Structure 1
Amino acid sequence: MIRPRLRPLLGVLVAAAIVGTAASAIALSTAPGPSTSTVGGSFVQPTASAAPSVSATGQERRPAATVPGATRAGTRPPVVDHGPRSGNRVALTFDADMTDGMLQNLRTGRVKSYANLRILDLLEREQVPATFFLTGKWVERYPDLTRRIADNPRFELANHTYGHAAYTGNCYDLPRVPPKGMTGDAAKTFEVIEPYGGRQTRYFRFPGLCHDAAALAALAPLGVTVVDGDVVSGDPFATAWEPIVRAVLDHVRPGSVVIMHVTEANARMTDEALPRILAGLRERGLVPAALSEVLAAG
């Protein structure tokens, strides 16, 4: 389910992942709409770190430092839009999309990069916590950057599917994961991320935020928490940084989960918008924090 006021904007955002190239500026949706999926953060229960193990290829798996967001396997996963509205923390989340079309753009040289290093540089320099929702194919394409993210104790790693395919029908023309393949698709992504260690989570974000009862049921064996978000930046296809900053600062509140992208070619203005967003948060007395901390604040 997608909240009504986010649906028009998300159609444009998902189109960015489909074609993988900049095309036009997006229109920002500001109409209010009800949220029916918000859940408080109290259910987030960090678990003990896993012991080191060896993968099927013989590679040693680096244990994750934390595993927040886990729920009891076999139950329908909770769906979260934001954390508690008390306090002053907000979560900055960055999606790392990667589709077969995007990989083809890289192979042919049509696109130089889907990894915005300037975002990482800024977050590291300013010591800003952030959570990265990684597709498995992005991790496979950028292993060194994934390791860089995992090695930063302020960053969390989360799951954004293996190849950014939809888990429902009619999801902005995205190719669809077969219903019988949804559990395996999400599980494969966790397996791809696992060897990098760091602050890994059991958070999961659907492409386009498209999910229904069947999609949630498919994730039940994995013990995840589904994270949508209540502030969509609109950074894909933006041709200027100002609309991105307005989209965030006009809607951000305590407990907000902000959705941005680290995919440079189809979110090329995000690095210019981010310093202004950070300054605006400071002016409002809001402090970026890891997603697990924002959701658990209550």
Structure 2
Amino acid sequence: MDHGPRVGDRVALTFDADMTDGMLNNLRTGRVKSYANLRILDRLEREQVPATFFLTGKWVQRYPDLTRRIAGNPRFELANHTYGHLAFTGDCYDLPRVAAGGMTEDVARTFRVIEPYGGRQTRYFRFPGLCHDEAALDALAPLGVTVVDGDVVSGDPFATAWKPIVRAVLEHVRPGSVVIMHVTEANAAMTDEALPYILAGLRERGLVPAPLSEVLAAA
């Protein structure tokens, strides 16, 4: 599913929280300070903006207090982004690949990691890199997930300036859109700078951020 119905004025702001073993090693060695952009959360909370967070299990385990903060906000929804951000297909942005027989358990494990935090939990799921095929979809069928890609790709990972992120979002956003951004600070350092301009641009277009479940509800 890429988006909701093209009616009304609602759009979904979604934020992926990636975490790989390589990223964990960067934190351990001090090469990277943080993969959690608190300025994004601060702004969303301050302006009372709904959002949906696609969490990897390893990010949750690395940032339990932040996960509690997200879960404790009634405007935020929690969704699943795999356990360790492994690829579910070959040739997916050079990501290491999860074993074919391990796909179902990888996603099930992530739900188990997220579950104790409570809050507005969903069965929404996003593949790393949006890479999936029939085998991957078949593997997840028993879990009853709704796969959500998105129709507005911000391009924020590894961006070196905020203006292209804003432009990428505002040029493509429409009623029912699902916007993909990241809350992984070191890998998406410009997202918090782009966010206020994105929010202002949505207001100018008469578009209102809403939880993903509301945007997809009528689909």
Q: TM-score range by the shorter chain?
A: over 0.9
Deviation track 1:180-237 (CA, whole Å, cap 9, x = no partner) reads 0000000000000000000000000000101000000000110000000000001111
Aligned residue for 1:144?
Answer: 65
Aligned residue for 2:136?
Answer: 215
How big is the shift at 1:169? 1.2
Aligned equivalents of 2:187, 2:143: Cα separation in 1 = 30
Which structure is larger by alpha-carbon Rg, 1 or 2? 1
Aligned residue for 1:181?
Answer: 102
How big is the shift at 1:128? 0.1
Deviation track 1:245-293 (CA, whole Å, cap 9, x = no partner) reads 0000000000000000000001111001000000000000000000000
User: Which of 90, 99, 118 is the aligned partner of 2:20?
Assistant: 99
Aligned residue for 1:272?
Answer: 193
User: Which of 288, 291, 294 is the aligned partner of 2:209?
Assistant: 288
Please state whether the residue corresponding to 1:251 is helix, strand or coil. Answer: coil
Aligned residues: 219
Larger RCO (CA within 8 A; separation ≥ 6): 2
Aligned equivalents of 1:168, 1:256: Cα separation in 2 = 25
Aligned equivalents of 1:297, 1:113: Cα separation in 2 = 37
Aligned-CA RMSD value = 0.6
**Are residues 1:193 and 2:114 paired?**
yes
How big is the shift at 1:171? 1.1
How big is the shift at 1:170? 1.4
Aligned equivalents of 1:171, 1:118: Cα separation in 2 = 29
Q: Percent identity?
A: 89
Aligned equivalents of 1:82, 1:193: Cα separation in 2 = 24
Gapped regions of structure 2 (runs ≥ 5):
none
User: Which of 165, 174, 177 is the aligned partner of 1:244?
Assistant: 165
Deviation track 1:18-69 (CA, whole Å, cap 9, x = no partner) reads xxxxxxxxxxxxxxxxxxxxxxxxxxxxxxxxxxxxxxxxxxxxxxxxxxxx
Aligned equivalents of 1:165, 1:237: Cα separation in 2 = 18
TM-score (norm 2): 0.99
In the TM superposition, what are the counterparts of 1:8-157 in structure 2 within 5 Å? 80-157=1-78
Aligned equivalents of 1:273, 1:162: Cα separation in 2 = 28
User: Which of 148, 151, 170 is the aligned partner of 1:227?
Assistant: 148
Deviation track 1:139-158 (CA, whole Å, cap 9, x = no partner) reads 00000000000000000000
Please state whether the residue corresponding to 2:169 is helix, strand or coil. Answer: helix
Please state whether the residue corresponding to 1:127 is helix, strand or coil. Answer: coil
How big is the shift at 1:297? 3.6
Please state whether the residue corresponding to 2:209 is helix, strand or coil. Answer: strand
Q: Which amino acid aligns with 2:62?
A: R
Q: Which amino acid aligns with 2:18?
A: D
TM-score (norm 1): 0.73
Question: Which aligned segments of 4 or more residues in structure 1 are displaced greater than 2 angstroms?
Answer: none
